[in-house]
Amino acid sequence: MPDAVITAIGIARAKPGQEKELGRRMAALVALTRTEPGCLAYDLFQSTDDPSVWMLLEQWRSQRDLDAHVGREHLQAFLRSKDEVLAEVPRSHRFVRATPSAM
């Protein structure tokens, strides 16, 4: 589905004591990412149940745009230093809108 809008959810868990730092680093991605071609939405959330858990909710015009985002320098810089603040490998899921004909 190369022409379908892609919704992506990324979940990251901070190391103990790194909750605010992880949030700060993830928040720094927001403004830069929102200016990228094909970015329809890019929002950061913190769990109300567990402050070490952060979520990025993203919408992209196409899979191609999301793939380009993954290669951008600001995201790659975050990923290079992720072990400083992340307790585990982040989880990521990609979705397309379900239509009645697909069910």
Global pTM? 0.89
Position 3 confidence tier, pLDDT thresholds 50, 70, 90 = confident
For the stretch 10-24, pLDDT in tens is 999 999 999 999 999
CA angle centred on 60, ends 29 and 1, rounded to 5°? 145
Task: For each of the domains in the chain, give its residue range(s) and CATH number, in order of start.
Answer: 6-95 (3.30.70.100)
Q: Tens digits of per-residue pLDDT, 66-93?
A: 999 999 999 999 999 999 999 999 999 9
CA distance 22 to 79: 12
As a whole number of angstroms, the distance between CA 3 and CA 62 comes to: 5
Three-state SS at 49: coil
